[in-house]
C-alpha cells in the first residue's frame, strides 16, 4: 500500500483528497502547513506528497525545496494560481506535476498514480504495508528495513495471500495453489507454515488473520 502525504491548510481540501485517496487504496497522512510536512517527511517514507503552495508558517515552494533535500520523493503541487511563472518555478524545484485549483479529485488520483509509476518504474512491484515491504520480483521481504529470513515456501505462501488480500482462503485452496495439486499434505502443513510466517513477520504478523472454520487471509 502506497503512502500519500496530503499537505494543505484547508481542512475541506484535505478531507476530499483523503476520501478519494482511501478509495484508491492509499495509506493517508495529513499536514496543515509546510513545517509539519517537512517533519513528517523526515520521520516517514512517503511514495508521493501532494503539496499546496499558499500555506501558513512555510509556503509550498519553500517546503518542496527542503523536502527534496531530505528525501527523493515525488511531489505534486497544488495552487489556486495559474501563472506560468509559478509552474516553471515549481518544476525548477523538482516538482513532478502541477495541479490548479479547483481540480477534479479523480483526475488528481490519476496524476498521483502516473507520478508514482513513473518514479518507481513500470516494472516495479514493491508492495508496502506499514513497515512491511515485499519485493515481488526479487522475492524478498523486509520488516522495518531488515530483510526477513523466509523459506522459499513461506515466500510463496505470503505472495499468494498478498495477491488475494482481504479474501478468505481455505487451507485446501492454499495447498492447491501454493503446494500444487500433486502435494499430499494436510491442513497441518498450512498451519505450520502460517505459524512460521507470522513469527518471521514479527510485529506485522497481524496482517495474517485466521478466518474461523475457513482458513486465513492477508488483511489490510
**Domain 126-218 class?**
mainly alpha
Q: CATH 1.10.10.10 occupies which residues in the chain? A: 126-218
**In this predicted structure, what is the pLDDT of residue 184?**
60
Using H for helix, E for strand and C for coil, what is the string for the chain?
Answer: CCEEEEECCCHHHHHHHHHHHHHCCCEEEEECCHHHHHHHHHHCCCCEEEEECCCCCCCHHHHHHHHHHHCCCCEEEEECCCCHHHHHHHHHHCCCEEEECCCCHHHHHHHHHHHHHHHHCCCCCEEEECCEEEECCCCEEEECCEECCCCHHHHHHHHHHHHCCCCCEEHHHHHHHHHCCCCCCCHHHHHHHHHHHHHHHHHHHHHEEEECCCEEEECC
**In this predicted structure, what is the pLDDT of residue 192?**
93
Q: CATH 3.40.50.2300 occupies which residues in the chain? A: 3-120
Predicted structure pTM score: 0.56
**In this predicted structure, what is the pLDDT of residue 15?**
95
d(CA 56, CA 61): 12
**In this predicted structure, what is the pLDDT of residue 57?**
86
> Tens of pLDDT along the chain (220 residues)?
789 999 999 999 999 999 999 998 899 999 999 999 999 999 888 999 999 999 988 989 999 999 988 888 899 999 887 777 777 887 888 888 999 888 999 999 999 999 988 887 655 578 889 889 998 877 889 998 888 999 989 999 999 999 999 999 999 899 888 886 555 656 688 999 999 999 999 999 999 999 998 999 999 8
* Domain 3-120: CATH architecture, name and number where available: 3-Layer(aba) Sandwich (3.40)
**In this predicted structure, what is the pLDDT of residue 140?**
87
Amino acid at each position: 500500500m502506497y503512502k500519500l502525504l496530503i499537505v494543505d491548510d484547508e481542512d475541506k481540501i484535505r478531507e476530499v483528497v483523503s476520501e478519494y485517496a482511501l478509495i484508491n487504496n492509499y495509506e493517508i497522512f495529513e499536514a496543515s502547513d509546510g513545517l509539519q510536512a517537512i517533519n513528517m517527511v523526515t520521520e516517514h517514507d512517503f511514495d508521493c506528497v501532494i503539496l499546496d503552495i499558499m500555506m501558513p508558517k512555510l509556503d509550498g515552494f519553500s517546503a518542496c525545496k527542503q523536502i527534496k533535500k531530505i528525501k527523493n520523493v515525488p511531489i505534486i503541487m497544488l495552487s489556486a494560481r495559474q501563472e506560468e511563472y509559478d509552474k516553471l518555478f515549481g518544476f525548477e524545484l523538482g516538482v513532478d506535476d502541477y495541479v490548479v485549483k479547483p481540480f477534479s479529485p479523480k483526475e488528481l488520483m490519476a496524476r498521483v498514480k502516473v507520478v508514482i509509476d513513473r518514479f518507481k518504474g513500470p516494472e516495479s512491484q514493491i508492495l508496502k504495508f506499514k513497515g512491511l515491504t515485499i519485493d515481488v520480483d526479487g522475492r524478498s521481504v523486509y520488516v522495518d528495513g531488515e530483510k526477513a529470513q523466509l523459506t522459499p515456501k513461506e515466500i510463496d505462501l505470503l505472495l499468494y495471500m498478498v495477491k488475494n488480500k482481504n479474501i478468505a482462503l481455505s487451507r485446501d485452496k492454499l495447498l492447491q495453489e501454493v503446494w500444487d495439486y500433486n502435494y499430499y499434505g494436510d491442513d497441518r502443513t498450512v498451519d505450520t507454515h502460517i505459524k512460521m510466517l507470522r513469527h518471521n513477520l514479527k510485529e506485522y504478523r497481524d496482517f495474517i488473520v485466521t478466518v474461523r472454520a475457513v482458513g486465513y487471509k492477508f488483511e489490510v
